[in-house]
Amino acid sequence: MRLTILGSGTNIHPTRAASGYLVRTDQTILLDFGPRTLTNLLKTGVNRHRITHILFSHYHADHFSDFITYFFDAMIFTKYQGGKRPPLTVIGPRGTKKFFRALFATLPGFTHAPFAVHFKEVADRAFTIGKTTVIPRTVIHTQNLHCLGYRIEYGGKALAYSGDSQYCDSLVRLCGDVDLAVLDCSFPASRPSPVHLHAGQCGQVAREAGVGRLVLSHFYPITERYNVREQAGEAFGGKIVVARDLMTIKL
Ligand SMILES: [Zn+2]
Ligand SMILES: [Zn+2]
């Protein structure tokens, strides 16, 4: 299994794309699709028209907005450029179907794509895509919003992605004994937010869950001024990686 970080920043960031990750197993799966991550996806050399599954943690714009550009491009490719692509399955938390129904009804042409599109709502129940197992788990982010973290297992390895999350038991369970956990490190320990983890809590989750390697990601611009590796390392003695866009990690 390989993880490529398409975006390790947030909505507006001077040097990083927002949230997006490419996971390669027997499948090519996207986890979130925030602004500027599509440009980074092109740089990986992966054929964007072969992507069959996109998993969303939630629909804050920093995790979602490049989907619109991606889908519009897929329509032009298949409608006017003679291109073919496999069906696309979009998976996300409660509200996914309603959200895309409204979006597709509003954006010109989106309901007339010449390829199949499926929407699937998931919550806390494992499913498989080919030989890849996906385990979504509800995490706590902002009030009244269903947000998911994802655990992906393939070839005897496991990775966890927090999406956006506060510290919560379900996040620790999601990350239990994974080889690699990518956690929401929006803020430094000294500038915490009520709706995101900070660097110290990322270390705490990694320690409590028995994570192999911890990847700190989803940085707000202010966080660049702090040593998040050191802050996470106060709680977690294992390997810590500070995410960079287009970094690929093998599991
Ligand atoms: Zn969010
Ligand atoms: Zn976010």
> Using one digit for the tens of pLDDT, what is the confidence trace for 38-49?
999 999 999 999
| Residue 116 tokens, joined | 């199949």
Query: Could you say which ligand is closest to the alpha carbon of residue 147?
Result: 1
Span from the CA of 101 to the centroid of ligand 2 (angstroms): 23
Query: Could you say which ligand is closest to the alpha carbon of residue 148?
Result: 1
Instruction: For residue range 51-63, list pLDDT tens digits in order.
Output: 999 999 999 999 9
Query: Could you say which ligand is closest to the alpha carbon of residue 141?
Result: 1
Span from the CA of 142 to the centroid of ligand 2 (angstroms): 11
Span from the CA of 213 to the centroid of ligand 2 (angstroms): 21
Residues 114/79, Cβ–Cβ less than 8 Å: yes
State the alpha helices, DSSP H only, in the chain. Answer: 37-43, 66-79, 96-106, 169-174, 199-209, 228-233
Residues 159/182, Cβ–Cβ less than 8 Å: yes
Span from the CA of 136 to the centroid of ligand 1 (angstroms): 16
Average of per-residue pLDDT values in the chain = 98
**Model-wide pTM > 0.95:** yes
Instruction: For residue range 83-129, list pLDDT tens digits in order.
Output: 999 999 999 999 999 999 999 999 999 999 999 999 999 999 999 99
Span from the CA of 112 to the centroid of ligand 2 (angstroms): 30
